[in-house]
Amino acid sequence: MKRILAKNSIFGLGQAVINLIFVFLVIPVFIKMLGSVTYGVFALVMVVGNLNSFTNLGLTNALVKFIAEQGRSEKSNIDIFVNLILLIAAILPLTLVFIYFNEFILLDLLKIPLKVFDEAKGLFILVLWANFLLLIGQVFKAILDALQKVYVTSLVQIFYNFLYWGLILTALLLGFNLPAIGLAIFIAALIWLVITIINAKKVWGKYSAAGFYNNYKNATKKQLSYGLKIYASGLIGFFYEPLSKILISNFIGVSEVGFYDIALKLRSQIWGFIAQIFYPLFPFISKEQDKSVIRKYVHDLEQKSFLIIVPIIVLVILLMHPFISIWIGKDVDIISITAIFIISFHLIGSSVIPNYQFLMAKNLAQKTIILQLSNVIFNGVFFLITIQFLGYYALIVGNVAAIVSSFILSLYYQHKYLDSLIFDSSKQIIKLLIVGCIMFGIGFMTNTFITSNLLRMVLDPMIVIIAAIFLYRSFNMISLEDIKRYSGDSLNLSRLGIKLFVK
C-alpha cells in the first residue's frame, strides 16, 4: 500500500510541476498580448470554473468513497450509473440558466466593462460548456481514483494541461481574442473527457446495470446523503476566492482582480505540490477501518509536511519579488506582497489536508461545512472592516484571517475525533521556527551581496536546501524510522536518506 500511495503522489507531483511551467509561460504572454485589463476580465469570467461547487452535489467524493469501500461489485456499478445521472441532472439545467442570464452575471455581478462584453460573453459560454464536460468526466476519474489509479488520472491531467495551456498560448500568439481562448479551453476539456472515459473502461471492465431498477433509490439516497454534505462545503467554499474577486471588482477595479488572480495561480501551483502528495490518502482512508492506522498516517504526514513547507515559505519570501520582476516586469510590489502572504499562509493551512480528508471519508463531512463557512465569514468580514483604510490590501487581511480560522478549527476537530494534533510537543514547533529563521537569515544575508535577480533565483534555492539538510540533521528532526517508513522498499533511497539526515 505504501508503494501505491507513493507512486500516486509522485505522478500527482509531476502533474503539478507541468502545470506550473505552463502557467509561468502563458500568463506573461497573455498580459503582453491582450493587456492587464483583459487578463482581469479573463480571471473574472473564469470564476464560472467554480460552477462545480454548485452542481456536483459532492457526488465525485461520494463515488470515490463508496467504490473504495465496495470495490468492483454490483453495488459499485449501480453507484456509477446513479452518480452519472444525478450529475447530468444537476449540471445541465444550471449551465443553461447561467447562459440565459449571461448579461446579468457579466455586467451586473462581475462588473465586466461594457466595451469588452461581447468578447467576455463568448468566453463565458464556451467555458461553461467546457466545465460541463469536465464535471461529467469526474465520474470516470472517480472510478480510477477509488481503485488507487491516481497515477493514471495524473498522466491524463498532464496531457490535459499541455492541451489547455498550449492551445491558449497558440490562440494568443496568433492574435486571437477571448472567444478563441474559450474555444481552446472547450477543445481541451472534450479531449480530456474522451481519454478519461477510455482509461476508466480499461481499468473497470464491463459496466453492468444488473439490479439497477431495484436498487437505484437506495443508491441515490446513499450518495445524496453523503454527497450533499460535501456539496454544502463546496458551495460555501465558492464564496471564498470568487467572492474576493467580486469584492475587488466592485470596490477597487478590474486590473486589481488580475493582480490577485496571478497571486492565486502561483498559490495554486505551489499548493498543488502538497495537495497532490496528500490526495491518494483519501481513497486509502475511505477503505481503512482501523482508526489507529488512520490516526498514525494523518498525524505523521501532517508533521512531516512542515519539513517541506518551511523551506518553501522561506524561498517564497526571498524570491517572490525578483521572480515577479523577471516574470511579469510590472506592478511588481503589489503582486509580490499579495503572493507572499497568500502563498505562505495557504501552505501552513495545507498541512491539515489529511485531517480534512479524514473528515470527508468517515461521515464527518458536516464539519467541513463549518470549516468552509469559517473561511467565507472571516474573509468577508475582515475585508469589509479594513477596506476603508487598507484599500486593495484588505483582501490579504481577509484571506489570512480566513486561513488562520479554518486551520485552528481543523486542529480542534483532529484532537476531538483522532485524539492527536500535528506536533507532539512545543519543542518541535520551536525547532521549526529556529530552523526557518536560520534559513531565512542565511538567504537574506546572501541576497545583500547579490544584486542580480536571476542569480538570486539560482543560488537561493541551493542555499536554502543545503541549509535545511544541515539543520534537520543537526536538530535530529528526521529519524531512522521516518526514513525507513517513507523510502519503502528502495534501499538506495533509504541509504541516501540516512546519509543526509541521520547523524
pLDDT tens, 103-137? 888 888 777 888 888 888 989 999 999 989 988 88
Confidence of residue 237 (pLDDT cuts 50, 70, 90): low
Average pLDDT of span 364-387: 84
Confidence of residue 295 (pLDDT cuts 50, 70, 90): confident
pLDDT tens, 15-31? 566 666 777 778 788 88
Is pLDDT above 70 for 238?
no
pLDDT tens, 137-170? 888 888 888 887 777 877 888 888 888 888 998 9
Is pLDDT above 70 for 394?
yes
Q: How many CB atoms lie within 10 A of CB 205?
A: 9
Average pLDDT of span 274-297: 74
As a whole number of angstroms, the distance between CA 21 and CA 480 comes to 35
pLDDT of residue 367: 83
Name the least confident of 152-161, 192-201, 435-444: 152-161
CA pseudo-torsion sign 399, 402, 408, 409: negative
DSSP 183: H
Is pLDDT above 60 for 202?
yes
pLDDT of residue 260: 83
Q: What is the mean pLDDT of the chain?
A: 81
Confidence of residue 14 (pLDDT cuts 50, 70, 90): low
**Selected residue with higher pLDDT from 269 and 260:** 260
**Amino acid identity for residue 316 in this structure:** V
Confidence of residue 1 (pLDDT cuts 50, 70, 90): very low
% residues pLDDT > 90 (the chain)? 13
Is pLDDT above 70 for 213?
yes
Residue carrying the nine cell digits 533509504 = 494
Is pLDDT above 90 for 437?
yes
Tell me the domain boundaries of the chain. Answer: 1-238, 246-422, 425-503
**Selected residue with higher pLDDT from 155 and 488:** 155
**Selected residue with higher pLDDT from 2 and 393:** 393
Cell numbers for 263: 497571486
**pTM for the full model?**
0.68
Is pLDDT above 90 for 194?
yes
Average pLDDT of span 82-91: 83
pLDDT of residue 289: 76
pLDDT of residue 52: 47
Residue carrying the nine cell digits 477597487 = 252
Average pLDDT of span 216-243: 68
Name the least confident of 47-56, 74-83, 132-141: 47-56
Is pLDDT above 60 for 32?
yes
Average pLDDT of span 344-351: 89
Angle, in degrees to the nearest 10, between helices 353-361 and 365-390: 140
Average pLDDT of span 170-179: 88
pLDDT of residue 318: 92
Which candidate, 270, 339, 312, 314, places its Cα nearest to that of 443? 314
pLDDT tens, 36-45? 778 878 877 8
As a whole number of angstroms, the distance between CA 265 and CA 270 comes to 9
Confidence of residue 10 (pLDDT cuts 50, 70, 90): low
As a whole number of angstroms, the distance between CA 273 and CA 268 comes to 9
Is pLDDT above 70 for 221?
yes
As a whole number of angstroms, the distance between CA 337 and CA 315 comes to 14
Contacts of 349 (CB under 8 A, 6+ apart): 403, 406, 407
Which candidate, 421, 405, 266, places its Cα nearest to that of 349? 405
